[in-house]
């Protein structure tokens, strides 16, 4: 019995064991179920966590991209996108305003000077110098003086022209009222000697030498520049290398050919491919681009 007992014990124990096993199995099974349940729960939790992680990753990626875009779009200053948008809206507004009404040149270009700017002072046969106008003069070269406000640009232009191997030569710059008077009266005397009446002599003289008080040379803002190899003040100047360089580049230094060939009616002065007037770099550029003389330009900008 003992053995059976022993047997039974194992038998008892076997079921127990089996039971244990079963139980174990059951437990295993139960526990599997619990494990399955808990595994399912964990999987759910894991899936949930994964979803949350994905969502966070997407959100992070979105912000990450936005943050990464900042340094590119705003020069390394995060948070400037808004400013960029405002800037873009401003650009759009300006473009819209520009297209809508086509305002005059003065409003279109921020760089357009005011018509009352000193550099745009108009002196021609119909607009004499203001009474008592006296520019502050500075020596330019070869005994010639100019308004000190245009001296640096004038010197730069002459230097740039010479740097190309050319030989520009200044033959007139600032003139006092007395000098202009002398030039004019000499011309009148020559015409009188040629047989013209005083009235005609003065009229003819006025075509080539401005009546005193109406010469831009009295402003100190005008230069007569010729090619050293051809110092004749006539239309042959336009064919000289110096003149061709000046006609092409003078605007870059704030000067314009003041009396173009097709503007005599407007300027009151014959074609002078040697007389350059300082108007400032912005005005010179616009006059060059628009191919207008000073009278036309002042009309364009509301002067």
Q: Which residues are catalytic?
A: 272
Site pattern 257..276 for Zn ion (x: CB under 5 A): ------------------x-
Site pattern 97..116 for Zn ion (x: CB under 5 A): --------------------
Q: How far is the CB of 107 from Zn ion (least distance, A)?
A: 33
Q: Which residues pair with 276 in a beta bridge?
A: 223, 257
For Zn ion, the closer of residues 245 and 274 by Cβ is 274
Q: Which two tokens stand for residue 55?
A: 């969502």
Cβ-closest position to Zn ion: 275
Task: List the interface residues with Zn ion, window 223-252 (CB under 5 A).
Answer: 224
CA-to-CA dists, residue 112 to 103, 129, 268, angstroms? 13, 23, 25
For Zn ion, the closer of residues 112 and 267 by Cβ is 267
Q: How far is the CB of 275 from Zn ion (least distance, A)?
A: 4
Whole-number Å distance between alpha carbons of 177 and 86: 55
Whole-number Å distance between alpha carbons of 233 and 171: 10
For Zn ion, the closer of residues 183 and 201 by Cβ is 183
**Which strands, in side-by-side order, build the sheet including 255-257?**
168-172, 222-227, 275-278, 255-257
For Zn ion, the closer of residues 275 and 285 by Cβ is 275
Task: List the interface residues with Zn ion, window 64-93 (CB under 5 A).
Answer: none
Buried b (16+ CB within 10 A) or exposed e, 134-149: ebebbebeeebbbbeb
Whole-number Å distance between alpha carbons of 37 and 17: 26
Q: How far is the CB of 110 from Zn ion (least distance, A)?
A: 32
Q: How far is the CB of 121 from Zn ion (least distance, A)?
A: 16
Please report, as ranges, the residues that interact with Zn ion according to CB under 5 A: 224, 275
């Amino acid at each position: 019995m003992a053995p059976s007992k022993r047997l039974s014990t194992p038998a008892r124990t076997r079921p127990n064991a089996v039971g244990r096993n079963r139980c174990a199995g059951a437990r295993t099974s139960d526990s599997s179920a619990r494990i399955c349940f808990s595994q399912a729960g964990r999987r759910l939790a894991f899936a949930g966590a994964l979803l949350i992680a994905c969502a966070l990753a997407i959100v992070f990626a979105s912000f990450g991209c936005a943050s990464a875009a900042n340094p590119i779009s705003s020069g390394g200053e995060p948070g400037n996108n808004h400013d960029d948008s405002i800037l873009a809206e401003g650009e759009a507004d300006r473009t819209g305003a520009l297209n809508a009404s086509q305002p005059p040149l003065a409003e279109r270009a921020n760089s357009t000077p005011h018509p009352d700017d000193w550099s745009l002072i108009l002196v021609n046969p119909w607009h004499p110098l203001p009474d008592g106008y006296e520019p502050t003069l500075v020596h330019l070269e070869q005994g010639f003086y100019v308004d000190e406000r245009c001296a640096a640009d004038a010197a730069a232009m002459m230097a740039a022209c010479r740097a190309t191997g050319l030989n520009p030569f200044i033959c007139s710059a600032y003139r006092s009222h007395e000098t202009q008077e002398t030039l004019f009266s000499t011309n009148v005397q020559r015409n009188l000697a040629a047989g013209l009446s005083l009235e005609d002599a003065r009229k003819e003289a006025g075509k080539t030498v401005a009546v005193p008080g109406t010469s831009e040379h009295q402003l100190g803002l005008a230069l007569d520049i010729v090619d050293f190899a051809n110092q004749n003040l006539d239309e042959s100047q336009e064919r000289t290398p110096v003149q061709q360089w000046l006609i092409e580049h003078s605007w870059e230094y704030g000067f314009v050919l003041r009396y173009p060939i097709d503007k005599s009616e407007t300027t009151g002065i014959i074609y002078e491919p040697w007389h350059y007037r300082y108007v400032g770099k912005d005005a010179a550029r616009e006059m060059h681009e628009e191919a207008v003389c000073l009278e036309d330009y002042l009309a364009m900008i509301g002067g």
